[in-house]
Each structure stands twice: as C-alpha cells, then as structure tokens.
C-alpha cells in the first residue's frame, strides 16, 4: 500500500482528490494539509510515497514543498495539481523536482492512475501544460542548427515521445500503437537513457532543445 499526502487549500478539490486516491487499489491517503508548512511537516512525519501539491497555498508556494520532498531520504515523488493560469510556474516546479503536472479542471477521478504512473516511472502531464512547456522550451532553447539526422532515438521512440509531449498516458499510447503498456515503458526507459534524463517532462524539454520535437 503506497501512502499519499495531499496539500491543497480548497475543500472541494481536497475531497475529490482524497476520494479518488482512496478508491484506487494500492493507494491510501495518510495525511492532508491546507497550508504549506503543515504539509512539509507531514511529509517528514508520514514518509509518503507520493505527494499531491497545489502551488498556490495560503502561506507560500507549493514549490517549496516539492523541494522539501526532493531532499527526503526515501523514495518519494511529487505531482502538481494546479489551476490553468499557473503556467509560469511550470518550469520552476519541474526544476524543483515535480514528476508530473495536471490541472484541477481535468478528470480528477483518474488521479490514482496518474499516481501509479509516477510510481512506475512515468510523468503524467495535462495536454495544455505539455503544449505550454513545449512553447517555453521552443522559444528559449531551440537550436535552429540541430540536425534531425543526429537524433539518438529510434523511429518508434520518437513516435512515443511525440505522444508523451501531447499529454498521452502510457495506457493510451499502448492502445494507439497496438503494443503493450510494458513495451511502452521499455521504450520510455530507453528514451531516458539516451537523452540522459530522469522523467518524461525532462525528456520533452531536452528533445525540444535538440530540435527533435
């Protein structure tokens, strides 16, 4: 059973997230917090496997909680649950260590699936945030002299990375390409290794900087 902490100050959102997590096999909410400092304290008290974090909290930025979790001495990942309008914080959250970024306006009842994706090495990201991230990287880092012939990825790996950059989950990619979810995971791990990254968000950013996306 994987423990989950939720740091969210909106009661309605908190209730929906807690219900979705507890209704997902293998997951259990072990603590909730509506304020940043309480959330950070709970992270070290309960040692969860995953923390769901809102960025806009009454007493500070959820990015500080992401950074705190990154310093932990056990296996822990963070998933940002935010509103559309916090896009300016996307790169900051990723740099702080967030492994996924989904919007509150999306289907929160599937957040358990997103948590399992993170535990299994994935990086769930809402399509709108994926587009925004691509836009940022494209504007700031794209190397116009990059040659696609130097691409270290196979054709299938590029196909999967393109799907990831559009916000598709592993299950959806598997269905789209008529392959198993495990095979998708193997390809994604190969992408990480070839690009020297540790998450799908970093893979998208790196591939875009190289001119591959």
> 1: exposed, middle or buried (C-beta count within 10 Å: 0-12, 13-18, 19+)?
exposed
Q: Compute the average pLDDT of residues 6-23.
A: 94
Q: What is the DSSP string of 155-176?
A: HHHHHHHHHHHTT--HHHHHHH
How many Cβ atoms from other residues are within 10 Å of residue 21's Cβ?
23
pLDDT at 74: 94
| Sequence ranges of the domains in the chain | 2-124, 132-209
Tell whether the model's pLDDT for residue 102 goes beyond 90.
no
Question: Does CATH number 3.30.565.10 belong to domain 2-124?
Answer: no
Segment 120-173, tens digit of pLDDT: 888 888 877 777 766 665 555 544 444 444 678 898 999 999 888 877 888 889
* Measured distance CA(129)–CA(102) in Å, rounded: 8
Least Cα distance to 110 among 26, 1, 180, 16 occurs for 16
* CA–CA distance, 141 with 196 (Å, rounded to integer): 17
Confidence of residue 196 (pLDDT cuts 50, 70, 90): confident
Give the span between the Cα atoms of 7 and 81, in whole angstroms: 9
Q: Classify 180 as helix, strand or coil.
A: coil
pLDDT in tens, 68-97: 998 899 999 999 998 755 566 777 887 788
SS3 103: strand
- As to burial, measured by CB atoms within 10 angstroms (0-12 exposed, 13-18 middle, 19+ buried), residue 11 is exposed
Q: Does domain 132-209 have CATH number 3.40.50.2300?
A: no
Does residue 186 surpass a pLDDT of 50? yes
pLDDT at residue 40 greater than cutoff 90:
yes
pLDDT of residue 142: 47
Q: For residue 137, what pLDDT is reported?
A: 58
**Predicted local distance difference test score (pLDDT) of residue 50:** 97
What pLDDT shows up at residue 204? 81
């Amino acid at each position: 059973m994987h423990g989950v902490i939720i740091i969210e100050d909106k009661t309605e959102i908190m209730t929906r997230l807690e219900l979705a997590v507890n209704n997902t096999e293998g997951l259990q909410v072990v603590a909730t917090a509506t304020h940043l400092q309480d959330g950070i304290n709970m992270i070290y008290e309960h040692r969860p496997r995953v923390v769901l974090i809102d960025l806009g909290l009454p007493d500070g930025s959820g990015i500080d909680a992401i950074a705190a979790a990154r310093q932990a001495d056990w296996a822990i990942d963070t998933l940002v649950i935010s509103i559309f309008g916090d896009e300016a914080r996307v790169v900051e959250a990723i740099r702080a260590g967030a492994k996924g970024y989904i919007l509150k306006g999306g289907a929160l009842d599937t957040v358990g699936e997103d948590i399992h994706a993170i535990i299994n090495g994935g990086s769930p990201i809402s399509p709108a945030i994926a587009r925004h991230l691509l836009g940022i990287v494209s504007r700031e880092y794209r190397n116009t002299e990059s040659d696609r012939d130097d691409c270290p990825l196979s054709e299938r790996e590029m196909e999967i990375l393109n799907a990831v950059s559009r916000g598709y989950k592993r299950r959806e990619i598997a269905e789209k390409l008529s392959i198993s979810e495990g095979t998708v995971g193997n390809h994604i791990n190969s992408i990480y290794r070839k690009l020297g990254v540790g998450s799908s968000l970093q893979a998208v950013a790196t591939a875009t900087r190289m001119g591959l996306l």
